[in-house]
Structure 1
Amino acid sequence: MKRRHTLNALALLCCVGIQCATSAFADEPKKVAFVDTGNTGRSVMAEAIAGQLIAQRHAHIAVISRAVDEDPYDEKPEENGVILMKRRGIDTSAHRSVQLNANDVKHSDVILTMTDKHKEKVLALYPSAAGKVFTLAEYASGKHLDVPDAWGKPIDFYESVTAQLDTYIPAALDKVATIAPAKQ
């Protein structure tokens, strides 16, 4: 009799543990990494725009931005990008470039690159990212288009890049909101 009660108690604890683990898992935000060459321009603006949209929508999504290249490291964001984000009420001036790493890949539900070359490099460095790395345009619209690099170009070129980001990011966030979080 004692053994049966012990087994029933253990079964109940297991079920409660599974429910708690499932609830905790459901509370985790979906995680998106925006990736470009040096994490000083496009990916920084994408993270900023997405973060603002997430706050406005009260979405349960976390975003980061990363570089696929080793250099630059710990660099400031591009001045024209900072100016454009400031016009939107977003201060990106404190951002410093960070490289994509294995932990970012593991914990991201979706990795959105700015170009096909970035996507290829992420997949070459992290084959485990297959199935969750896409170009931003591909993920948002099914189109195979790159978001061009504005580095060193005039501010009007940056404005055209942010216009592309404004087109793709809302659709990408809508899609991210419908997926199950990554298994840790």
Structure 2
Amino acid sequence: MKHILTVCIGNICRSPLAQVLLARDLPGTTVWSAGLGALVGQGADPLSIEVAAAHGLDISAHRAQQVSSFLCQQTELILVMEQSHKSQLEQQFPVVRGKVFTLGHYGKFDIADPYRQPREAFDTAFAAIAQGVADWVPRIHKLS
């Protein structure tokens, strides 16, 4: 698998964390992130940066971008944070049907948005994202 896209709403909290974790665990794969309602050009949320740094990851250079038809067409797999994101993407870009899944697909969970919440919400989101990545990586290796 050459290209993966992670998607949340603003592209400043959850999807940048998923992006950096997937990129770390899947060398040779290009991982992008985008938002359904992206805060275009904005950096990652300071608490996401802090949580990433606590786990040895750097997302300080991240800039939010809007999900686009181009990004969707370039990727073999799109991982979203919530079931509602999957529905919205499939409605907006019908071409993505069949390659959009929640990051928590295998564990049957959504990843709640920590935006404008305390650090604990970001830690909880990170733990869920890390679990989703751990569930997906061996499956992605098998598909590659």
With normalisation by structure 2, the TM-score equals 0.93
Q: Which residue of 2 aligns with 1:61?
A: 29
| Greater share of residues in helix | 1
How far apart are 1:53 and its partner, in Å? 2.0
RCO comparison, higher one (Cα < 8 Å, 6+): 2
2:69 matched to 1:102?
A: yes
Which of 89, 97, 101 in structure 2 is aligned with 1:122? Answer: 89
Q: Which residue of 2 aligns with 1:45?
A: 17
What do residues 35-62 of structure 1 show as CA deviations (whole Å, max 9, x unaligned)? 00010000011111122222xxxx4322
Q: Matched residues in 2 for 1:154 and 1:126: separation? A: 33
With normalisation by structure 1, the TM-score equals 0.74
Structure 2 gaps of 5+ residues are none
Do the aligned partners of 2:107 and 2:132 also contact (CA within 8 Å) in 1? no
- Relative to structure 1, the CA distance from residue 178 to residue 30 in structure 2 (aligned partners, 3 Å threshold; closer, same or farther) is farther
Q: State how 1:11-160 maps to structure 2 within 5 Å.
A: 29-54=1-26, 59-69=27-37, 71-138=38-105, 141=106, 143=108, 145-160=109-124
Instruction: Give the AA of the match of 2:36.
Output: V
Instruction: Give the AA of the match of 1:42.
Output: R
Which of 153, 156, 162 in structure 1 is aligned with 2:126? Answer: 162
What do residues 97-152 of structure 1 show as CA deviations (whole Å, max 9, x unaligned)? 011111111111110100111111110111010000011111xx162x21000001
Which has the larger Rg?
1
Structure 1 gaps of 5+ residues are 1-28
Instruction: Give the AA of the match of 2:35.
Output: A
Aligned pairs, number: 144
Q: Secondary structure at the match of 1:148?
A: coil
CA RMSD of aligned residues (A): 1.4
State the percentage of identical aligned residues: 24
Instruction: Give the AA of the match of 1:43.
Output: S
Q: Matched residues in 1 for 2:91 and 2:57: separation? A: 33
Q: Matched residues in 1 for 2:2 and 2:111: separation? A: 23
How far apart are 1:178 and its partner, in Å? 2.0
Q: Secondary structure at the match of 2:104?
A: helix
